[in-house]
Structure 1
Amino acid sequence: MSANVRITPHPSFDVLAATTAARLITRLLDVQSERGEATVVLTGGSVGIATLREVAKSPARLAVDWGKVNFWFGDDRFVPTDSPERNYGQAAEALLNHVPVDPARVHAMAPSDSVADLGEAVALYAAELACAARTEWENDDASPDEPPAVPRFDVLLLGLGPDAHIASLFPEMAGIRTKGAAVVGVLNSPKPPPVRVSLTLETINSAQEIWIVAAGADKAAAVGLGLAGASEIQVPASGARGVNKTMWLLDEAAAAKVPAALMRREN
């Protein structure tokens, strides 16, 4: 296992969400102290949204300059604006509506009633990522010769499905096989709703830190496979690797199949 992979169990769902929220606030503060702004990629799912609620409740949130946090999404369901299935809507209800964000820094994926089709939604998000990346590149004296396809992601949050899918990249499907693109459209998702927009694995792995957050006994097998070095085509979670760090943040039930020697418990 790579030295930059850390596995941390937590005693319960609630402790996992609260601890991940505290960890995220700390990371945003550290990055803002260093660079002035910070960028996080949000995820949906029960524990992902619970984490955002915990951020909104934390007194420490007041230390973050929310107007200088850039928010992106790892995936979203291609549904109408007001659908309760939208990750953006759930994230807004949990956190974004409760802290003073800069709306221009919140990058939602297009809902189905705002564009002609899935292809347009994919193209728009890829263009938005590229525009942000170019702006960073133009403002960075140490930038490479060509702008990257996506901006810097300081933290990228991922949920985990029982089938080991991450974002909307499902085992054996076209999305997990996509190369050379920042964003992919997903049809016939095995988990409803069936049509989605997702970052590709290449884009996900451009993040400085990836945090895979999972809870529940139904995730234990997926966690075990994801850490066992299985092919990313069969087990998408196994392919998630942050540039500097990859953290598996688990409750005890999700960590049940992880050897104790691999885990690092919080003090």
Structure 2
Amino acid sequence: MTVIVHEDRAALVDRTAERLTALLAALIAERGHATIAVTGGSVGIALLAGLADRAIDWQRVRITWSDERYVVADSPDRNAVQAREALLDLVPIPAGNVRELPADDGTPLAEAAAAGTELLRDLGGIDLTLLGMGPDAHIASLFPGHPGVHESGVAVIGVTDSPKPPPSRLSFTVDAINASDRVWLVVAGADKAEAVALAHSGAPAAEAPAGVAQGRHETLMLLDAEAAALLEEGGR
């Protein structure tokens, strides 16, 4: 895991948007397309908003989500709804390139998770998974002490007891996250400093799910100075 520290939240968002724009351009030039899994949260949505005015060939970008709140499709709690308002409704991305995890239409959560696993299989691999991190070192909807951090054999699981509302969610598993070519953890704020230090220390998944997130080719922890405050200087 490579740690990159920016002076403040605004710089973190701006430079990560710049980094992501460059990555998308390189992937499209190399292979003709790019597939990313985005995240919610205040920093994740700010990052998406920061892409709206950048020169990106949206016709060749496919987007899904590393986790989603299992609520009705138009709920403002959904990461996808927030992402559409911040970015996707503002850029010329084809509707078929936006692959939302299922919304709650009455389908049992376990069946929705299976559909999410099939969706991810159809995408054929993720070039980049973007993740935030909670003050408890959770990523996606994988929370410390919850059994979901140990799930294997599937890409998407249902979470019924999220400590953050709403309680029902869909989430990439650790296996799905770590199958991505690249994983970027984008984290800001003093309230995340202890979690960042714990994740960076190599704590096990049951204690700090963020600490076991690892891309196949690249893993970046992109921080603002407040989130990085408890890291030893040599570990940055």
1:115 is displaced (CA, Å) by 4.2
Aligned residues: 236
Question: Paired residue for 1:28?
Answer: 24
Q: Aligned to 1:156, what secondary structure does the other structure show? A: strand
Counterpart CA distance in 2 for 1:130 and 1:39 is: 12
Matches within 5 A, 1:1-267: 5-57=1-53, 61-62=54-55, 64-112=56-104, 114-132=105-123, 151-263=124-236
Q: Is the 1:223–1:255 contact (alpha carbons within 8 Å) kept by the matching residues of 2?
A: yes
For normalisation by structure 2, the TM-score amounts to: 0.97
Q: Aligned to 1:56, what secondary structure does the other structure show? A: coil
Q: Is the 1:157–1:210 contact (alpha carbons within 8 Å) kept by the matching residues of 2?
A: yes
Unaligned runs of 5+ in 2: none
Q: Is the 1:165–1:235 contact (alpha carbons within 8 Å) kept by the matching residues of 2?
A: yes
Q: Is the 1:115–1:121 contact (alpha carbons within 8 Å) kept by the matching residues of 2?
A: no
Q: Greater CA radius of gyration, 1 or 2?
A: 1
1:155 is displaced (CA, Å) by 1.2
Counterpart CA distance in 1 for 2:155 and 2:129 is: 15
For normalisation by structure 1, the TM-score amounts to: 0.86
State the Cα RMSD in Å. Answer: 1.0
Counterpart CA distance in 1 for 2:85 and 2:106 is: 23
Percent of counterpart pairs with the same letter?
44
Q: Post-superposition, which runs of at least 4 consecutive aligned residues in structure 1 deviate over 4 A?
A: none
1:262 is displaced (CA, Å) by 2.3
Unaligned runs of 5+ in 1: 133-150
Q: Is the 1:6–1:246 contact (alpha carbons within 8 Å) kept by the matching residues of 2?
A: yes
Counterpart CA distance in 2 for 1:156 and 1:129 is: 12
